[in-house]
Structure 1
Amino acid sequence: MTTRVKICGLTRPEDVEACHAAGAAYVGLNFFARSPRYIAPRAARELALAAPVGLAKVALTVDATDPELDEILDHVPLDMLQLHGRESPARVAEVRARYGLPVMKAVGLSGAEDLAALGAYEDEADQILVDAKPPRGAQLPGGNGIAFDWRLIADRTWKRPWMLAGGLTPANVAQALRLTGARQVDVASGVESAPGVKDAGLIRAFVTAARR
């Protein structure tokens, strides 16, 4: 089975083209205003419309309210919502019902004590994003370029499809896949030449390494 790759935090039309050319399955658009990868809904619309058929468009939001989600979806044609904040299982269910789109819930890990949180979302989310928990005082809930101990989830399974994130790069993604058994991976900072600036060569190298 081919590993499916999500490239998150696109801000330019050429990023969409690079992801498609490399063979990525998903592209992520970041609507968290404090992120260097933030994109406004109107600008995101242009990127989404430029995405070729078959390239899934995912909106990353952090504790977004209904009016904020309404604004995003009024402008941007999307295939999935990614909730990357402190949304409860009940909130995940609300969003899923309100918008009729698949919902991916991000859960941060730093130690074994965090594993129980993953199971809490299995009945509500369509997919789980297993990410590194941000360090104390971090300004971003994800995209910090740090990894967790992949052995924590070695050979674990969940009822829902899941995706591995956190500190992945072209150099380490193959090892991460071997240790965790993940079939999907998500990368943001690991394919950038500067914060928020994607590098087409790194995108290509990452997808190639993940599929190898």
Structure 2
Amino acid sequence: MTDVAIKICGISTPDALDAATAARADFVGLVFFPPSPRHVDGYAAAALAARAGSTIGRVGLFVDADDGLIGESVRAGRLDAIQLHGEETPERVAQVKERFGLPVWKAIPVATARDVEKAKAHDGVADLLLFDARTPKDAALPGGMGLSFDWSLLSAWRGKPGWGLAGGLSAANVAGALAKTGAPLLDTSSGVETAPGHKDPEMIRAFCKAARNA
């Protein structure tokens, strides 16, 4: 058994939210990025936030968003943290953190050891670094595509902030991922879906159970 934090990203329906809460996930991710099949608008985010209350943490995911969208979404979803999943620079991360007064998570796309090394630019700026699989250059989305990367690349990471692992995680492989990386936070999206954007309550339950029993 291990005390690992769990985030179920791409929550967009009451059923999925209820399943994540019942499975004792620590965070749900609300995606504010229209091209994503998991996108929620302000109205949907507000309804989910009202339903969740204080039972689970809410992280808003943004891709190179301006302050207007972030601000509206923070208020609607009553967000506890902001996740930046685009090409945001360390300067932009610091700006968002100062502007909104919330913890900022920065997604780091990984394919090679050099990608992990480049994450040091955000070291001490972001509150948490989320190492995710790098998507193909022509991909429509920056994540949530079920891709994983060579987890052994993280063995040399000695950064200051907290960090987490994302990218292709499911109930079937999460124990191996945790054994190889020791990640303090595990983030899944497509790994608990029957189709893009369609969360399965049983898969959410299975993922959380597997992560906690690893």
Q: What TM-score results when the alignment is normalised by the length of structure 1?
A: 0.97
- Which residue pairs with 1:130 in the alignment? 131
Deviation at 1:75, TM superposition (A): 2.1
- Which residue pairs with 2:98 in the alignment? 97
Q: Secondary structure at the match of 2:161?
A: coil
Q: Indicate how the Cα distance of structure 1 residues 176 and 155 shifts in structure 2: closer, same or farther if over 3 A, else same.
A: farther
Give 2:160's aligned amino acid: K
Single out whichever of 154-163 and 197-206 deviates more from structure 2. Answer: 154-163
- Which residue pairs with 2:64 in the alignment? 63
Q: Which runs of 4+ in 1 moved over 3 A?
A: none
Output the CA distance in 2 between the equivalents of 1:210 and 1:157.
23
Q: Secondary structure at the match of 1:154?
A: helix
| TM alignment of 1:48-127, pairs within 5 A | 48-127=49-128
RMSD over aligned Cα, in angstroms?
A: 1.1
**What percent of counterpart residues are identical?**
47
- Which residue pairs with 1:35 in the alignment? 36
Deviation at 1:52, TM superposition (A): 4.2
Output the CA distance in 2 between the equivalents of 1:104 and 1:54.
20
- Which residue pairs with 1:143 in the alignment? 144
Output the CA distance in 2 between the equivalents of 1:56 and 1:190.
20
Q: What TM-score results when the alignment is normalised by the length of structure 2?
A: 0.96
- Which residue pairs with 2:4 in the alignment? 3
1:165 aligns with 2:166: yes
Give the length in aligned residue pairs: 212
Deviation string for 1:74-104 (max 9, x for gaps)?
A: 3221100000000000000000000000000
Structure 1 unmatched ranges of 5 or more: none
Deviation at 1:72, TM superposition (A): 1.4
Q: Indicate how the Cα distance of structure 1 residues 23 and 155 shifts in structure 2: closer, same or farther if over 3 A, else same.
A: farther
Whether the 8 Å contact between 1:154 and 1:181 is mirrored in structure 2 is no
